[in-house]
Structure 1
Amino acid sequence: MRAVRVHQYDNPPTIDDVPDPRVEGPLDVLVEVNAAGVCRTDLHVIEGQWADKSGVRLPHTIGHENAGTVVETGSAVTNVRVGDRVILHPLVTCGLCRPCRAGDDVHCENSAFPGIDTDGGMATYLRTNARACVVLDEDLPPAEVAALADAGLTAYHAVRKAVPLLHPGAHVVVIGAGGLGHIGIQCLPAMSPADLTVVDRSAEVLGVAEELGARETVLADGDQVEKVLDLTGGQGAHVVLDFVGEGGTEQEGIAMTRDAGSYFVIGYGGALGVATIDVISREINVVGNLVGTYNDLQELMALAARGRVRQRTRTYPFDRALEALDDLDHGRLPGMRAVLEPVPL
């Protein structure tokens, strides 16, 4: 099969011919990859940011946002059949450890993460397990939802955690309306009555945010903190969801958060530098957000099937995988996600 492989960090990957994966265990599921999302984390993998955390040996196949068709299953698999179209939770989990039994499978103690610490899905086939497979509604093509497997799932997970804090009359700010943020923007009106303000540096992207349900938009032109404070009566937002997490949004997000409010960190790459006395005196919460659980992915697919959440995508044939990565790296995908089609339907 063909696969997008990283041979040396900080160098472009190549499309290689490699052996097909095989079903080995009773819960294994072999999926023909019809769609593979292109994520900024893939760029971070290529840059070597995950080298120490993942411990993988190069060459390594990237890709952790995958959807496709089941082509083979292990002997104990009962929840999917050959021919089913599925979206894959990015983690392959054990189901036996305490986090899994508590429904917190994203913190599985025995997980594998295709595309991060084992070979991923920018390839013809991907081996996962039965616990990762969510059967798609027949009206949801893999290419339209593949990127929801991580970017969308991460956004949904953060919004779901924030919803109990967002009563009628509350104010929520979203920083960054790009590939992750535009999913969060759709989830918020579907799940919360709070007033929504979106902050982004692109006027074009802010126009999309208005179409998706933002009540107010703020152009990040240097005065965004003051503008958000004006919109919130000088107090700041009850919840700030930062889908950027670098380039100064860390400090801005804290400044936009009202006393006793919560700043949710979703994007990454920067660093937090908050004086502990400010955390205490203002009684603010800083909340980390990893990718969502399997149940989160099921719920997100339910919203997608009802038309409440749509992923804005640009599809690429598999031969143009490097072009897709380059387009993402150079900001040529405003407010949308790139999706490769290793085996088009």
Structure 2
Amino acid sequence: MRAVRVHEYGQRPVVESVPDPVVSGPWDVLVEINAAGVCRTDLHIVEGQWKDKSGVELPYVIGHENAGTVREVGSAVSNTAPGDRVILHPLVTCGLCRACRSGDDVHCESSTFPGINADGGMAELMLTNARAVVRLDGGLEPADVAALADAGLTAYHAVRKAVPLLHAGSHVVLIGAGGLGHIGLQSLLAMTPAEITVIDRSQEALDLASRLGAHHVLRADGSQVATALEITGGRGAHVVLDFVGEGGTEAEGLALTRQAGSYFVIGYGGRVEIPTIDVISREINVIGNLVGSYNDLDELMALTARGEVSLRTRTYSLDEALDALADLDAGRIPGGRAILVP
């Protein structure tokens, strides 16, 4: 099969032929990949940011946002069959540890994460297990939902955690309305009554946010913090969702969080720095967000099937994978996601 593999950190991946994965265990599911999302995490992997955390042996296949058609299943699999169209939860989990049994399978004690620490889905085929498979509603196409497997799941997971904090009359500031942020915005609109202010440096992304239903949109031109504070009556937001997490948005997000409010870190690459006395005196919460559970993905697919969440995408062939990565890195895909269609 053809696949996109990292051979050396700091160097461009290679599109090449590799052996097909093979079903060998009773819970294995072999999926023909019809669509694979291109994520900023893929750029961070290539740069080497995940080298020490993943411990993966190079070369390996990247790609952790995957959807396609089941080709073959192991002897114990009963929840899916060859021919089913599916989206894949990004982790392959055990189902036996305490985290899995409590529905927090993203923290499975013995999981693998295809595309991060094992071969992923920027390929024609990918091996996963039965616990990762979410069958698609008949009206959904793999290319339309693939990026929801991580970008959408991460955004939904953060919003779902914020829902109890966002009562009628509350305010949320969303920083970054791109590939993750525009999904987070749609999730907020579907699940909360909050007033929403969106901040982005891209006018195209802000225009999309306005069309989707954001109540206020602000260009990140240096005046955004002052203007957002003015919109919130000088108090800041009950919840700040930072889908960027680098380049100064960390400090801006904390500045926009009101007393006893919550700053959700979703994007990454920077550093959150705040004196402990400020954490105590302002009684604010800094909340991390890592992907999401299988149930989160199942719920997100239900919202998507109802038309309440949709992706803006640009498709590339598998052989154009390096172009897709370059376009993402250069900011040429504002307000949407790049999707490889093998």
Query: Is the TM-score greater than 0.5?
Result: yes
CA deviation after TM superposition for structure 1 residue 203, in Å? 1.5
Shift of 1:279: 0.3
Q: Which residue of 2 aligns with 1:143?
A: 143
Q: Deviations over 1:270-293 (max 9, x none)?
A: 001100000000000000000010
Deviations 1:116-151 (A, max 9, x none): 000000001000000000000111100000000000
2:283 and 2:293 map into 1 onto residues whose CA distance is 28
Cα distance between partner residues in 2 of 1:128 and 1:118: 10
Whole-Å separation in 1 of the counterparts to 2:189 and 2:181: 13
Which residue matches 1:111?
Answer: 111
After superposition, residues 168-207 of structure 1 pair within 5 angstroms as 168-207=168-207
| Pair 1:209 & 2:180 matched | no
Where do residues 63-142 of structure 1 align in structure 2 (5 Å cutoff)?
Answer: 63-142=63-142
Residue 25 of structure 1 corresponds to: 25
Residue deviations 1:185-215 (CA, integer Å, cap 9, x gap): 0000100001011001112211100111100
Flag structure 2 segments of 5+ consecutive residues without an equivalent. Answer: none
The one-letter code of the counterpart of 2:163 is V
Counterpart of 2:84, as a letter, is D
1:80: how far off? 0.3
Distance of 2:216 and 2:116 partners within structure 1: 37
What is the TM-score with the length of structure 1 in the denominator? 0.99
- For 1:317 and 1:61, locate their aligned partners in 2 and report how far apart those are by CA, in whole Å: 16
Per the alignment, residue 335 of structure 1 pairs with 335
In structure 1, C-alpha distance between the alignment counterparts of 2:205 and 2:335, rounded to whole Å: 6
Secondary structure, counterpart of 1:261 in structure 2: strand
* AA matched with 2:291: V
Provide, for residues 24-55 of structure 1, a one-character-per-residue CA deviation record: whole Å limited to 9, x for no partner. 11000000000000000000111111111111
- Could you list the runs of 4 or more consecutive aligned residues of structure 1 that deviate by over 6 angstroms after TM superposition? none
Q: Deviations over 1:312-334 (max 9, x none)?
A: 00011111111001100110001
**2:194 partner amino acid:** A
Residue type at the aligned position of 1:163: V
Query: What one-letter code is carried by the residue in structure 2 that aligns with 1:281?
Result: S
Q: Which residue of 2 aligns with 1:264?
A: 264
1:247 to 2:253 alignment? no
Aligned AA (2:13): P
Find the aligned partners of 1:173 and 1:79 in 2 and give their Cα distance: 40
Q: Which residue of 1 aligns with 2:278?
A: 278
Name the structure 2 match of 1:7: 7
Sequence identity (%): 73
- Matched residue type, 1:108: C
Give the 3-state SS of the residue equivalent to 2:33 in structure 1.
Answer: strand
2:157 paired with 1:157:
yes
Q: Could you say which residue in structure 2 is the equivalent of 1:292?
A: 292
For residues 340 and 218 of structure 1, what CA distance do their matches in structure 2 show?
Answer: 31
CA displacement at 1:223 relative to structure 2: 1.1
Alignment match, 2:302:
302
Tell me how many residue pairs correspond in the alignment.
Answer: 342
Counterpart amino acid of residue 37 in structure 1: G
What is aligned with 1:62? 62
Aligned-partner Cα distance in 2 for 1:259–1:61: 45
Distance in 1 separating the partners of 2:211 and 2:186:
10
Runs of 5+ unmatched residues, structure 1: none
Secondary structure at the aligned position of 1:78 is classed as coil
* Farther off after superposition, 216-225 or 128-137: 216-225
| TM-score, length of structure 2 as denominator length | 1.00
Q: What is the deviation of 1:56?
A: 1.0
Post-superposition CA distance 1:141-163 (Å, at most 9, x none): 00000000000000000000000
**Per-residue deviation at 1:57?**
1.1
Paired with 1:144 and 1:203, the residues of 2 have a C-alpha distance of 24
CA distance in 1: counterparts of 2:273 and 2:79, whole angstroms: 46
Give the aligned residue type for 2:274: V
- The residue matched to 1:263 in structure 2 has which SS? strand
Give the match's secondary structure for 1:221: coil
Q: Aligned to 1:250, what secondary structure does the other structure show?
A: helix
In 2, Cα distance between equivalents of 1:233 and 1:54: 44
Distance (Å, rounded) in 1 between the aligned partners of 2:165 and 2:269? 26
SS in 1 for 2:340: strand
**Other structure's SS at 1:253 match:** helix
Shift of residue 222, structure 1, vs aligned partner: 0.4
> Residue 48 of structure 2 aligns to which amino acid in structure 1?
G
